[in-house]
Amino acid sequence: MFSYCSHGAQRVGRWGRGSCEGYNLDIGNSGFVRFEGEVVRNVGKGDGEPGAWRSSINGTCSQAHPTCAEAMKRVEFELAQAAEPFVSLYAGYKAHRHKNRFSQAVDALKPGATA
């Protein structure tokens, strides 16, 4: 389940009152790397119909779940599915950065760089 904290570019929160409640998980400041997960409790329509928990990622992919825990697990699973390949690719880029022309051009533009 979500940890309730705020550290730099990540924030977790709980909001609501009574039967209306929700949780959000925001990671990243803005731009290319940003993840927003949300879990919201939908109240039943009455007539004894139970409510459901809905999860959404970046405002899309809304799915219903019978419990809050299952909805949170889905959000964290989707985060892992999106983040792990990016982290792996970025590590590969950093390891071979000195070999690519783009990075060499960037380094040449830095103050004090020698050509």
Residue with the bigger pLDDT between 30 and 5: it is: 30
pLDDT at residue 5 is higher than 50: no
Average pLDDT over residues 83-110: 86
Positive or negative torsion for Cα 81, 82, 83, 88: positive
Q: Which of 11, 13, 10, 4 is nearest to 39 (CA)?
A: 13
Tokens 């990540």 found at: 10
Three-state secondary structure call for residue 108: helix
Average pLDDT over residues 62-78: 92
Instruction: Enter the pTM of the model.
Output: 0.66
Per residue in 2-31, is it b (16+ CB within 10 Å) or e — as a string?
Answer: beeeeeeeeebeeeeeeeeebbbbbbeeee
Average pLDDT over residues 80-103: 85
Three-state secondary structure call for residue 103: helix
pLDDT at residue 11 is higher than 90: no
pLDDT tens-place string over residues 14-60:
888 877 889 998 887 666 677 889 999 987 676 666 778 999 988 88
DSSP character string of 64-101: EESSHHHHHHHHHHHHHHHHHHHHHHHHHHHHTGGGSH
